[in-house]
Amino acid sequence: MKRALLDLLQSARLWRIWLRLGLQDVRRRFRRSTIGFAWIFIHLAVMILAIGFIYGNLLGQKMGYFIPYLTISLVTWAYLTSSVVEGGTAFLNSEGYIKQISLPLYVYVFRSHFTITLVNIISLSVFFLVAILYSMPFAFGCLWVIPGLFILLATSFLLVLIFAHLNARFRDIAHLASLGMQVLFYVTPVMFPADLLKGRGFEFVVVLNPFFHLLEVVREPLLAGHPAEVISYAWSGAVVALLLGLALITIGRYQRRIVFAL
């Protein structure tokens, strides 16, 4: 455990290496494609148009509210999903490095987390375009999104850390995790407003779903200009604490064996 934590600290210090490798990964994804980074926007825009106009009408939503809601929900959700699914490959994709070069192991976790975060920051900018398009008023309360983003950043890092170990050790986890995230996507109010569940006896789906609260701490400040409900912060805090505990167990247990699992 102590060794693993020391490794984490040393890895963080090698920021020049993981920033460079991470940037390289993002660039590689779009290099030699004609429109490059624009794919991030196009991907999101098409999703928003398709889901927005079908479900918006199906659920009888006002577009002026529903489209921005959907945008920020999808962006936030994509961040969590890629942390689990893509972040899970952090060690697997760095196998060549891990086996040939003596760098602390978590350099590759930072690399993967940085890549994922950068791509999602780019797609977050789509929300601001949408906000301008629908001329949403800006309130200083929107700045409450900042603590929310930090909660999300921490959650994402811990997810990458945990799943990177688990995926390297148990190759089924990757499939299980991507299935899990897909199911959670439909269960969690991502593409429908949470209010629709209230009064139908389905409220527990929302209230007891930690992912809903993680979405809320980002969504609510941006859309309504005031902090999310206290309960959402409490749940989010609990999620981070739980993941931190799991991460400590995971790194303590598997860190030394990762190189053999690859």
User: Which parts of this chain interact with another protein (CB under 8 A)?
Assistant: 16-17, 20-21, 24, 27-28, 31-32, 96-103, 169-173, 176, 256-257, 259-261
- Shorter beta-carbon distance to another protein: residue 29 or 196: 29
- Shorter beta-carbon distance to another protein: residue 15 or 128: 15
Give me the least distance between CB of 246 and another protein, in Å please: 17
Give me the least distance between CB of 100 and another protein, in Å please: 4
User: What interhelical angle do 107-133 and 15-30 show, nearest 10?
Assistant: 50
Give me the least distance between CB of 133 and another protein, in Å please: 35
Give me the least distance between CB of 91 and another protein, in Å please: 13
Give me the least distance between CB of 242 and another protein, in Å please: 21
- Shorter beta-carbon distance to another protein: residue 26 or 149: 26
- CA angle, corner 205, sides to 200 and 208, nearest 5? 130
Report the alpha-carbon distance of residue 39 to residue 238 in Å, rounded. 35
Report the alpha-carbon distance of residue 189 to residue 209 in Å, rounded. 9
- Shorter beta-carbon distance to another protein: residue 124 or 173: 173
Report the alpha-carbon distance of residue 201 to residue 209 in Å, rounded. 15
- Shorter beta-carbon distance to another protein: residue 30 or 55: 30
User: Please, what's the largest Cα pairwise distance for the chain?
Assistant: 58
Report the alpha-carbon distance of residue 58 to residue 194 in Å, rounded. 15
Give me the least distance between CB of 115 and another protein, in Å please: 13
Report the alpha-carbon distance of residue 69 to residue 62 in Å, rounded. 11
- Shorter beta-carbon distance to another protein: residue 2 or 16: 16
3-state secondary structure of 204: helix
CA 82 to centroid of chain Cα atoms? 6
| C-beta separation of 56 from 66 below 8 A | yes
